[in-house]
Chain A
Amino acid sequence: MSSLRDRLDRLRAQSASAKAADAAFGVAAEAKADGAAAGIDGLSQLAEVADQDNVGPISGRASAQPDTEDEANNGSGLHPALAALDVEEVAGEYGSFLRRRAIYPLEHRHGHYVLTELMTCAGRLKPIAVRQNRKRGSLAAVAEPEPEEIDAKRLLFLDTETTGLGVGTGNLPFMIGFGYADGGAGTFTVEQLLIRHPGEERAMLSYLLGKFAGVTHLVTYNGRSFDWPVLTSRFVLNGWRPSGVEPGHLDFLHPSRALWKNTLPSCRLSRIEEDRLGIVRGEDVPGSLAPELYMKYLSDGDASHLRGVYIHNERDILTLASLTVHFGGVLEGRLGAEWALPEEPEELFRTAAWLADHGGEQHAERLFAALIAEGTPGGRWLLPAAARLKRLGRHDEAAGLWERAASLAESRLLPTAEAHIELSMHYEHRRREPGIALDYASRALELLQRRTSLRQSDRTRAELDAIRHRMARLRRKLETTGRLG
């Protein structure tokens, strides 16, 4: 073999030519925002890490003062781009890192909502928290009990920027941004921690741990399966061990999907901001570029690459506050009252269904009522909405929706027959009109046959058999009634 250096040189020559080809960033990064790539392995184990009593509770601390145990060093010696962003160096037990702090008055408006609404809306989020932290409840022996109410002051709005995807051990959060509200001071503080190189990570994590004190829930967008598992992994790598306790989650990814999955092109945070929260990002660096920009900074030391990342991350944190207000407001029943109802029937239906699932049946009813009112364009919401009415025993209203769904199905190239079958059942068993029931059943058969002429499966065969069976029964009924009549 030639020497190691020679062989490495030949590899260098090869990789130079290959490199041009693989610089694809966008695709993979998109997955983070959508949560698809994260949580490869499900949630990490419950973990809240040790020594959190060192730092006092967040509430009550005057937000603008330097921390008692950390030495902040303003500006001097920092890259001008960082100094311009009011970044300061913080030194602690494990070394130093950078912190940027921005303090907003609670009157600050971020898109449609004003931050101060947080203070009341947060309390409404309990149904989400209960649902998302169920696992925690089942481990009651080690977990702290779920607080009775959610207190805006005890929430930490968290978003990390990492060097890669997934929750593997090589994915490093280089920026950890978080926000918290202080009702007394009337402020919402955003802190953004940045490490200038991976060696500063431990100091940053130790500082973050301090901030967890007194926090009941992390408010995130996909934090349950991304940010938190990544952080848990980083704590372990830096010598902390899981204690079995972890903060609760208020992760808005799942509720957002529940509401907007079918009416927005994607459930990326930036899309929701623009289309639903009234936030204009302007010249924004997409989050997917953050890793690339950080790596550029690492290699040339030019901190101006990071400006866009700071701004992006800060907005994300404010948006988490907006989402808190939005979902709090929805749960409180503001839709159709202070706030306009969603325009699209599909979204109206999904919102109503979500509300009903989260203990807001009363408010949901108002939304459903608006939905089934005359003039709402039909769509795929018709069938599930009808199913709900059927469940509630409101058969005639359900039948109205089925009729609309049936006429809609008729006009489609590849129709489904579900509405027709429901109607057939309705007329047979409820209205005792076997004639009409038979009409619907035979129409259902036609539609299904149109569909199955393209592709037969065991399932469709079974469906066809069931319809034929129904028709035979209806015919017998008709004959009997005919004879009697």
Chain B
Amino acid sequence: MNPLTGKAATMEEWLEHLKLNREIMENVTYWHTQPARPARTAPFPPELDPRLSAALGTRNVASLYTHQAMAFEAVRAGRHVVTVTPTASGKTLCYNLPVLQRLLTDPSARALYLFPTKALAQDQVAELQELADAMEVDIKTHTYDGDTPPTVRQVIRNAGHIVVTNPDMLHSAILPHHTKWVKLFENLKYIVIDELHAYRGVFGSHVANVIRRLKRICRFYGSAPQFLCASATIANPREHAERLIEEQFALVDDNGAPAGEKHLVFYNPPVVNRQLGIRRSSVLESQKLAALLLRSGIQTIVFARSRVRVEILLTYLQELTKREFGPKSIRGYRGGYLPKLRREIEKGLRSGEIRGVVSTNALELGIDIGQLQACVLNGYPGSIASTWQQSGRAGRRHGSSVTFLVASSNPLDQYLIQHPDYFLGRPPEEARIHPDNLLILLDHIKCAAYELPFEAGDTFGGEKLVDLLEFLAEEKVLHENAGRWYWMEQAFPAHGISLRSAAQENFVIIDMTEGHRVLGEVDRFGAPTLIHEEAIYLHEGVQYQVEKLDYPEKKAYVREVNVDYFTDASLAVELKVLHVDKERESPGGAIVRQYGELMVTAKPTIFKKMRLRTHENIGSGPIHLPEEELHTSGYWFSFSEEAAAARSANDMQSALLGLANVLVHLAPLHLMCDPMDICVVPQVKAVHTKQPTIYFYDRYPGGIGLSQRLYEKHDELLAEAGRLIEGCGCLSGCPACVGPIEEVGLLGKDLALGLLQRTAGAAG
């Protein structure tokens, strides 16, 4: 450590220094070190075009990593291939190599690349172009997205060897106009799908259907392309690829790339109130660690769970380090920033001009920001896969890197921070999709019919296609004649169908401080709680107050303010059971669980003003916005009268609330899904059952199979909840288990545990 500048010469030196810092080290619950891993290489395959090996040679690549060689071989053998390796392992060469090899020998061949975002697509084109230039061959690589100027589009359609786009563009611009892409579809040899793990949940279910449509169009033009996929580490890469693409895949997962030493530090903020189980805010602790890193000259990325958190952390960090760094050296990054700003930040990170960045999971994907040295996770990212992805942002092929996982006070974080072996010993999550969700499926059958008529005997998805076609014919969307179904509506179906939940219905945020300037955007689901009138909206660390929310026009007008609070809105949720599909009673009859269809109405009610830093409540106000309806699938269980009889309504309330607080965190862990995808609602006297009930529902119209899985895993789920409550070190409930005493009462912990044990006992 340089005593004058306080900067560390190497990461190793910094870490040694850190280990002497008692104030930090006493909060470290576990220090995990992954040793450096040497490279394992294989020679260039003998059939590799000499121009390719020469071009690689100019980039000092003289051999392949083993996984690259295996992927090359599998593709050459005609297999669909999915490659799974961590960040920065030379993953792109796994698909670029076989594609370029083919294009060198067959210039009429075509390849289509899909990336989940435009930014990733642009990175990729730059890389491919570089290789093509090094080989001095005319391989044309183009991005085709919403930003592509109309004049260039025709050239790309006819002459682009590699077309790089995103699923949304494929869905709404390419497939519905496939007749303009004859050259591409007739000669399509490879379809490359990178970031395969990003296509999960609702988005993945849509994309699976887009791929069904894509394959249908390829068949029409007589091509049968090979799929080359790449994914970050997930538990079920091959299964996921096979569900998404509906083809048999070869898996390449033997990573031969080298990696430097990696430190994963579990950090639990200190307890400040033992009785109440209150720990110091993870935001403040993350900020402290990040400031420590930044001041030592270490380029650092901080991940936070929500947009608001990102902005709060950014404000704090800029404030803390303003003497050392200019305001442009520490930046925020999240959805809602306009593309130009994002590109600027990515570039600054690569060049090193930007020393620190605070991001949501928007930077989790493989956007090229170079490799940073340190990463601070403010709160558990919600899944093991995400944690590894985010932590992979720090880490170079040579030299050490460090990731701090700073636990928040929610039960899941606390569980993980105290059971590091659980985290480290568990495989990352499975990616799940449900492409046959009826609403999603119907939407894409419409799009598919628009693209090409359906014929008797066709299949599309797992449901009986004829029934769906007949339904659409009744709806006068399709017209049936002689066993063929034709699109027969004036509308263009892809326009009304967004692959990402309500992404099309973004609210635009307009800053009126000086003239009118578009500041950013918020998706429809976020709008009621983020940009209701009087909300404080944070953007790049600056506070804005929402003055007017034009709900029908989807615009929020804000003005810059300087206040010492932020706002936090509450939603009131009502549930109505429409249909019960499955029902089961526990052996003793104490618990009845059901699975079926629900109508959920949600209405924002009030917002609270919370003082910055102390987070104390300093005021509130009503929110006047229309309610949103959601028709979805759900699972719920209720306690029998006998089980409830012994308790007062108040006690029952505390017990249910406590249990729900635990389940809301455990459920995503079992489902391996994003916590945002599933909701938990406890009701002391539910309308449907008249009994104390806890509801779970999928936060997507029609459901995406999550609550169905919970219904099946019910026993395991409750047993886990019991273990978690029992194992918590607090006296009578804390945020890490059933919730704080203020919320569940002094006896909350006992009541919840009692309820569980009573019913479980009855069962046993």
Contacts of A292 in B (CB 8 A): 490
B467 CB–A CB distance under 8 Å: yes
Closest 4 CB pairs of A and B: A170-B450, A233-B179, A236-B179, A170-B487
Segment 296-334 of A: residues with Cβ below 8 Å from B? 298-299
Segment 204-258 of A: residues with Cβ below 8 Å from B? 232-233, 236-237, 241-242
Q: How many pairs of A and B residues are in contact by the CB < 8 Å rule?
A: 116
> Closest CB of chain A to B157's CB: distance in Å?
8
**B453 touches which of A6, A42, A198 (Cβ 8 Å):** A198
B579 CB–A CB distance under 8 Å: yes
Contacts of B708 in A (CB 8 A): 1
Distance in angstroms between the alpha carbons of A42 and B153 in the assembled complex: 9
B486 CB–A CB distance under 8 Å: yes
Segment 11-44 of A: residues with Cβ below 8 Å from B? 11-12, 14-15, 25, 28-29, 40-44
B133 CB–A CB distance under 8 Å: no
A-B contact pairs, 18 of them (CB 8 A): A1-B633, A2-B581, A4-B464, A4-B468, A5-B467, A8-B468, A25-B490, A44-B180, A45-B157, A167-B177, A168-B450, A169-B450, A197-B481, A197-B486, A198-B484, A199-B482, A295-B489, A298-B488
Distance in angstroms between the alpha carbons of A6 and B471 in the assembled complex: 12
A164 CB–B CB distance under 8 Å: yes
Which range contains the number of B residues in contact with the other chain?
Answer: 35 or more
Contacts of B438 in A (CB 8 A): 4, 7-8, 11
Distance in angstroms between the alpha carbons of A163 and B474 in the assembled complex: 18
A12 touches B484 (CB 8 A): no
B479 touches A197 (CB 8 A): yes
**B471 touches which of A12, A41, A164 (Cβ 8 Å):** A12
B474 touches A12 (CB 8 A): yes
> Closest CB of chain B to A49's CB: distance in Å?
12
B452 touches A237 (CB 8 A): yes
B150 touches A41 (CB 8 A): yes
Segment 179-214 of B: residues with Cβ below 8 Å from A? 179-180, 182
Segment 147-171 of A: residues with Cβ below 8 Å from B? 163-170
Task: Mark each residue of chain B from 151 to 183: 1 if its CB lies under 8 Å from any CB of chain A, else 0.
Answer: 101100110000000000000010011111010
Instruction: Please give 15 more A-B residue pairs, beta carbons under 8 A apart, in addition to A170-B449, A172-B486.
Output: A1-B708, A8-B468, A8-B471, A11-B471, A41-B150, A41-B173, A44-B179, A45-B154, A164-B489, A169-B176, A170-B176, A198-B486, A199-B482, A295-B489, A298-B488
User: Given A8-B471, A15-B475, A42-B154, are A169 and B178 neighbors across the interface (CB < 8 Å)?
Assistant: yes
A239 to chain B: closest residue by CB = B220
Segment 467-518 of B: residues with Cβ below 8 Å from A? 467-468, 471, 474-476, 479, 481-482, 484, 486-493
Contacts of A170 in B (CB 8 A): 176, 449-451, 487, 492-493
Distance in angstroms between the alpha carbons of A476 and B474 in the assembled complex: 83
A345 CB–B CB distance under 8 Å: no
Which range contains the number of A residues in contact with the other chain?
Answer: 35 or more
Contacts of B463 in A (CB 8 A): 4
A24 to chain B: closest residue by CB = B490
Segment 262-293 of A: residues with Cβ below 8 Å from B? 291-292
B597 CB–A CB distance under 8 Å: yes
Contacts of B489 in A (CB 8 A): 163-164, 295
Contacts of B173 in A (CB 8 A): 41
Contacts of A172 in B (CB 8 A): 486-488
Distance in angstroms between the alpha carbons of A45 and B579 in the assembled complex: 53
> Closest CB of chain B to A439's CB: distance in Å?
34
User: Given A45-B180, A169-B176, A170-B451, are A1 and B581 neighbors across the interface (CB < 8 Å)?
Assistant: yes
> Closest CB of chain A to B484's CB: distance in Å?
6
Task: Mark each residue of chain A from 110 to 139: 1 if its CB lies under 8 Å from any CB of chain B, else 0.
Answer: 000000000000000000000000000000
A164 touches B176 (CB 8 A): no
Distance in angstroms between the alpha carbons of A199 and B479 in the assembled complex: 11
User: Given A28-B490, A42-B151, are A198 and B179 neighbors across the interface (CB < 8 Å)?
Assistant: no
> Closest CB of chain A to B178's CB: distance in Å?
6
Distance in angstroms between the alpha carbons of A168 and B180 in the assembled complex: 9
**B182 touches which of A2, A14, A166, A241 (Cβ 8 Å):** A241
Distance in angstroms between the alpha carbons of A233 and B451 in the assembled complex: 11
A2 touches B597 (CB 8 A): yes
Contacts of A1 in B (CB 8 A): 581, 633, 708
A169 touches B581 (CB 8 A): no
Task: Mark each residue of chain A from 324 to 359: 1 if its CB lies under 8 Å from any CB of chain B, else 0.
Answer: 000000000000000000000000000000000000
B438 to chain A: closest residue by CB = A7
A299 touches B486 (CB 8 A): no
Distance in angstroms between the alpha carbons of A45 and B451 in the assembled complex: 19
B467 touches A291 (CB 8 A): no
By CB atoms of chain B within 10 A, which of A1, A169, A236 has the most? Answer: A1
Task: Mark each residue of chain B from 414 to 449: 1 if its CB lies under 8 Å from any CB of chain A, else 0.
Answer: 000000000000000000000000100010000001
Contacts of A168 in B (CB 8 A): 176-177, 450, 492
A199 to chain B: closest residue by CB = B481
A164 touches B491 (CB 8 A): yes
Contacts of B491 in A (CB 8 A): 164
Contacts of A10 in B (CB 8 A): 578-579, 597
A8 to chain B: closest residue by CB = B471
Distance in angstroms between the alpha carbons of A242 and B453 in the assembled complex: 21
Contacts of B450 in A (CB 8 A): 168-170
> Closest CB of chain A to B299's CB: distance in Å?
37
Contacts of A241 in B (CB 8 A): 182
Contacts of A4 in B (CB 8 A): 438, 463-464, 467-468
Distance in angstroms between the alpha carbons of A2 and B597 in the assembled complex: 9
> Closest CB of chain B to A127's CB: distance in Å?
24
B491 to chain A: closest residue by CB = A164
B479 touches A298 (CB 8 A): yes
**B452 touches which of A15, A169, A232 (Cβ 8 Å):** A169
Task: Mark each residue of chain B from 108 to 129: 1 if its CB lies under 8 Å from any CB of chain A, else 0.
Answer: 0000000000000000000000
Distance in angstroms between the alpha carbons of A168 and B486 in the assembled complex: 14
B580 to chain A: closest residue by CB = A2
Distance in angstroms between the alpha carbons of A43 and B150 in the assembled complex: 10
> Closest CB of chain A to B754's CB: distance in Å?
35
User: Given A2-B597, A45-B180, A241-B182, are A166 and B486 neighbors across the interface (CB < 8 Å)?
Assistant: no
> Closest CB of chain A to B61's CB: distance in Å?
39
Distance in angstroms between the alpha carbons of A10 and B701 in the assembled complex: 13
Contacts of B631 in A (CB 8 A): 14
Segment 566-602 of B: residues with Cβ below 8 Å from A? 578-579, 581, 596-597
Distance in angstroms between the alpha carbons of A167 and B178 in the assembled complex: 11
B492 touches A198 (CB 8 A): no
User: Given A168-B450, A237-B452, are A198 and B479 neighbors across the interface (CB < 8 Å)?
Assistant: yes
Distance in angstroms between the alpha carbons of A299 and B489 in the assembled complex: 12
Distance in angstroms between the alpha carbons of A36 and B610 in the assembled complex: 50
Segment 209-224 of B: residues with Cβ below 8 Å from A? none
Contacts of A5 in B (CB 8 A): 467
> Closest CB of chain B to A296's CB: distance in Å?
10
By CB atoms of chain B within 10 A, which of A8, A45, A172 has the most? Answer: A8
> Closest CB of chain A to B432's CB: distance in Å?
16
**A164 touches which of B158, B451, B490 (Cβ 8 Å):** B490
By CB atoms of chain A within 10 A, which of B442, B463, B467, B488 has the most? Answer: B488
B451 to chain A: closest residue by CB = A169
User: Given A8-B471, A167-B177, A168-B176, are A199 and B490 neighbors across the interface (CB < 8 Å)?
Assistant: no
Contacts of B467 in A (CB 8 A): 4-5, 8
> Closest CB of chain A to B579's CB: distance in Å?
6
Distance in angstroms between the alpha carbons of A29 and B180 in the assembled complex: 23
> Closest CB of chain B to A455's CB: distance in Å?
9
Distance in angstroms between the alpha carbons of A2 and B580 in the assembled complex: 8
Contacts of A232 in B (CB 8 A): 179
